[in-house]
Amino acid sequence: MKIGHQELTGYLERLQKPRPADIMKLEAYAEEHGVPIMEPTGIDALLRLLSLKNPKKILEIGTAIGYSAIRMALELPEAEIFTIERDEQRYHEAIRNIQSFQLENRIHVFFGDALSESAAVQSMAPYDALFIDAAKGQYQKFFSLYEQMLADDGIIFTDNVLFKGLVAGDYDQIENKRIKKLVSKIDHFNHWLMEHPEYRTTILPVGDGLAVSQKEVKRI
């Protein structure tokens, strides 16, 4: 009997401890309004890895409604999270959600495009961890721009790098031109990332695919 990825994911989600009601309320809102947030197994893996790293300062590219930032802040009570969002409606939603969790002193939200508003973000550098979860077609640009703001022992997480498994197939067969182009960009990013001379990367098949990139240790 062959078990597929969907069945395995469902099994792992059923094994997870129940999440607090206020977190599940955020998840329900995101699903109802079509707001992309991390899948349960993906966010769980991210939080476990972050807890091992215990970063004091985290930069997130792509706030959405603040779900991931809130989860990170709750998991890491000593960490500050800096996050940037370009959609005005979601920016304001994130602010309200962060305030409802009384985390406004630890989660700082910048409004603007991450590729053009980097100066404000840079003023708070260096960051111990970077989490990229924004426009997937721009992942390589985000990585190249913001990895410069990372601490020497920093770590970078990138979500959605498997994009529903489409990167593993023959995406030339995808009829939707926009999706086909996006899958091609993500696949190109994955190869570029795995071959990056300054980082060691592994891609975890959790959620929609989570890349974990750690700076190479410079040996004297």
| pLDDT single digits (tens) 26-84 | 999 999 999 999 999 999 999 999 999 999 999 999 999 999 999 999 999 999 999 99
Domain hosting residue 87, numbered range: 5-215
What pLDDT, on a 0 to 100 scale, did the predictor assign at position 120? 84
Q: Is residue 126 part of a domain?
A: yes
Q: Which amino acids are annotated as binding site for Mg(2+), given as ranges?
A: 133, 159-160
CATH number of residue 162's parent domain? 3.40.50.150
Q: Which amino acids are annotated as binding site for S-adenosyl-L-methionine, given as ranges?
A: 38, 68, 85, 113-114, 133
Q: Which amino acids are annotated as binding site, given as ranges?
A: 38, 68, 85, 113-114, 133, 159-160
Q: Is residue 220 part of a domain?
A: no
Nearest to 142 by CA among 129, 153, 150, 132: 132
Query: Residue 93 above 80 pLDDT?
Result: yes
Our CA angle for 75, 154, 192, nearest 5°, is 110
Total domains present in the chain = 1
Kindly state the average pLDDT of the residues 132-139: 93
| Cβ–Cβ under 8 Å, residues 185 and 137 | yes
| Number of Cβ atoms within 10 Å of the Cβ of 22 | 12
Q: Is residue 134 part of a domain?
A: yes
Percent of residues, the chain, with pLDDT higher than 90 = 74
| Number of Cβ atoms within 10 Å of the Cβ of 129 | 25
Give the position of tokens 């100066």: 119
Q: Is residue 79 part of a domain?
A: yes
Q: Is residue 98 part of a domain?
A: yes
Alpha carbon distances (Å) from 51 to 57, 71, 138: 13, 12, 27
